[in-house]
């Protein structure tokens, strides 16, 4: 045979690696000739601060979600044990004009038949 399979495989690997290296070198030369300077430390610091803010926001929202999940699990455990539910801010009895911010209010957009329009 003219071409040994091992030699052919090594030739393919050599051409691939050489092409990859040449591409990266040409890209680096192009960037240097274009005059693009690397970012300054102030830009990097501002970018890291922004990333940290995003991580902090995501973490705090996860903590809120986890705490609500734990509260739901406690509520379901109380229901399954048969204990009477505790008085929560949403179920407290308040005077007619005083509305708790924890209460979801349902205001229909389309008036129902027979209800007076104001």
Counted domains in the chain:
1
* Backbone region of residue 92 per phi and psi (left: phi > 0; alpha: psi in -120 to 50; beta: other values): beta
C-alpha span between 87 and 25 (Å, rounded): 70
* 107 part of a folded domain: no
* 45 part of a folded domain: no
* 47 part of a folded domain: no
List the domain range (segments joined by +) for residue 73.
7-40+57-81
pLDDT in tens, the chain (118 residues): 577 888 889 999 999 999 999 999 999 888 888 765 666 778 888 889 999 999 988 888 888 888 888 888 888 888 888 766 666 555 556 566 665 555 555 555 665 666 555 5
């Amino acid at each position: 045979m003219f071409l040994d399979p091992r030699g052919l495989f090594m030739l393919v690997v050599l051409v691939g690696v050489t092409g990859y290296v040449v591409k990266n070198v040409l890209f680096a030369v192009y960037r240097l000739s274009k005059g693009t300077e690397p970012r300054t430390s102030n830009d990097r610091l501002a970018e890291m601060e922004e990333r940290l803010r995003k991580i902090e926001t995501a973490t705090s929202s996860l903590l809120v979600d986890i705490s609500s999940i734990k509260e739901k699990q406690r509520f379901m455990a109380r229901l399954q044990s048969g204990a009477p539910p505790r008085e929560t801010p949403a179920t407290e009895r308040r005077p007619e004009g005083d509305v708790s911010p924890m209460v979801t209010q349902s205001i229909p957009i389309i008036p129902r038949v027979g209800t007076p329009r104001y």
